[in-house]
Amino acid sequence: MADNNRRIVEQRGLWFEELDPGVRYAHHPGRTLTEADNVMFTTLTMNTQPLHLDAAWSARQPFGQRLINSLLTLSTLVGLSVSQLTLGTVVANLGFQEVRFPQPMYIGDTLYGDTIVREKRLSKTRPGEGIVTFEHTGRNQDGVIVAGVVRLTLVQMKPSGPDRISGHPARQR
**What pLDDT was estimated at residue 171?**
38
In this prediction, residues 90-102 reach a mean pLDDT of 97
For the ranges 6-20, 24-38, 52-66, 154-168, the lowest mean pLDDT is seen at: 154-168
Pick the closest to residue 104 from 152, 5, 18, 38 (CA basis): 38
Give me the percent of the chain exceeding a pLDDT of 90.
85
Of 156, 165, 13, nearest in space to 84 by CA: 13
For the chain, which residues make up each domain, given as ranges? 16-33+68-156
- What sign for the dihedral angle of Cα 161, 163, 165, 171? positive
Fold of the domain built from segment(s) 16-33+68-156 = Thiol Ester Dehydrase; Chain A (3.10.129)
Collapsing DSSP states into helix, strand and coil, what is residue 101? coil
Label residue 160 by pLDDT band (50, 70, 90). Answer: confident
Residue range 35-44, pLDDT digits in tens: 999 999 999 9
pLDDT digits (tens, 9 = 90+) for 58-85: 999 999 999 999 999 999 999 999 999 9
What's the pLDDT tens digit per position in 105-121? 999 999 999 999 999 99
